[in-house]
Amino acid sequence: MRYAKSHFLLLALAGLLWSCQSIASQPSNPIPVETAALVRVTAVPSQPTAANTPILPPTQPPPFTPTPIPTVTANPTSLLTATPTHTPTATPIGPCEQRLPGDGLFTLVTLTYGLSRDYAPDDLVPLADYLPVGVTLGYPTEVRQMIVEPLVQMLNAMRDEGLQPRIISGYRSYSAQAIAWNKWVTEEPERAAIISAPPGFSEHQLGTTLDFGSPELAEIVGREEIQFHTYFYKTSEGIWLLNNAHRYGFSLSYPREAFELTGFYYEPWHYRYVGVELATQLHESGSFLTAYLLATQPLPCLP
């Protein structure tokens, strides 16, 4: 029942859409409006090279040190029904500089709680330095150095099983998101809030979030140029990630259940690094990061 409206919107708004997290409403109005469905940006370059060639960094990255995670609740299953008790007008707790605690690994990003235009990770690295073009598709994707090792390990595991994971998107700066947003506002003002997100309200600005692709998607969807589609959950790569990504510290940010709480529709391709411990807890409890943060952590300041 709760998804009837979203399904209607999906049908009504069927068509090619902008990239993931392409849903948005005004920051002051967290009511979700979105489609989630098809998105696509540029042509897909040629197929990957030897799919099972081990992916090894050309240089040895610093040892990966898991970051301690917040204390978890005694009963993780309670997260499933956790309901935030705040409203967007709640008094922020603490000064706004606390909105990015620690290394930003657990920063809350929703359509209510956004990121500053000034925020950018200081340890971004190009994935092309660590992964073959068959995985990066030749895109100049960047992520934070801190997630490179678990990411490469996960992709190696997938390729060892004969899969062909692709990375469509990683870090997106505030200004890059602003350009995309302005493009849609100019070209399709009536749909801008549905097919894009205002700058500052995307987890991609954190540099720890990735959008994955699959060579199977185009055939499943029936559109050669498709890169993002909810049917990613049907692909071999999507199935593997759903079942195994947590073992490498990556968590599905927007499962089907996340819509009412996050304002984002189901994005089976969108994973965020939160560390193995928390990712595993979320996976096993059927929860997701936003629900966990709203239920257990002090509210951040409003943007």
Q: Tell me if 145 sits within 8 A of 170, measured CB to CB.
A: no
Helix (H) or strand (E) holding 257: none
For the window 256-285, what string marks contact with Zn ion as x by the rule CB under 5 A? Answer: --------------x---------------
Nearer to Zn ion, 21 or 112 (CB): 21
Decide: helix, strand or coil at residue 7. helix
Nearer to Zn ion, 229 or 270 (CB): 270
For residue 286, the tally of other CB atoms under 10 A from its CB is 13
Window 168 to 197, contacts with Zn ion (CB under 5 A): none
Residue 131 interacts with Zn ion (CB under 5 A)? no
Residue 211 interacts with Zn ion (CB under 5 A)? yes
Nearer to Zn ion, 99 or 270 (CB): 270
Q: Which residues contact 97 (CB under 8 A, 6 or more apart)?
A: none
Residue 162 beta carbon to Zn ion: minimum distance, rounded to whole angstroms: 25
Residue 20 beta carbon to Zn ion: minimum distance, rounded to whole angstroms: 3
Q: How far apart are CA 111 and CA 121, in angstroms?
A: 20
Residue 20 interacts with Zn ion (CB under 5 A)? yes
Q: Phi, psi at residue 101, to the nearest 5°?
A: -65, 150
Q: Tell me if 247 sits within 8 A of 188, measured CB to CB.
A: no
Paired tokens of 251: 């968590």
Helix (H) or strand (E) holding 38: strand 38-39
Residue 58 beta carbon to Zn ion: minimum distance, rounded to whole angstroms: 27
Residue 40 interacts with Zn ion (CB under 5 A)? no
Q: Give the residues across from 126 on adjacent strands.
A: 142
Residue 203 beta carbon to Zn ion: minimum distance, rounded to whole angstroms: 7
Nearer to Zn ion, 156 or 202 (CB): 202
Q: Which stretch binds Zn ion (CB under 5 A): 16-24, 135-143, 219-227, 277-285?
A: 16-24
- Count of residues in contact with Zn ion, rule CB under 5 A: 4
3-state helix, strand, coil in the chain (%, to 5): 35, 10, 55
Q: Which residues contact 94 (CB under 8 A, 6 or more apart)?
A: 298, 301
Residue 59 beta carbon to Zn ion: minimum distance, rounded to whole angstroms: 27
Residue 209 beta carbon to Zn ion: minimum distance, rounded to whole angstroms: 6
Binding residues (CB under 5 A) for Zn ion: these are 20-21, 211, 270
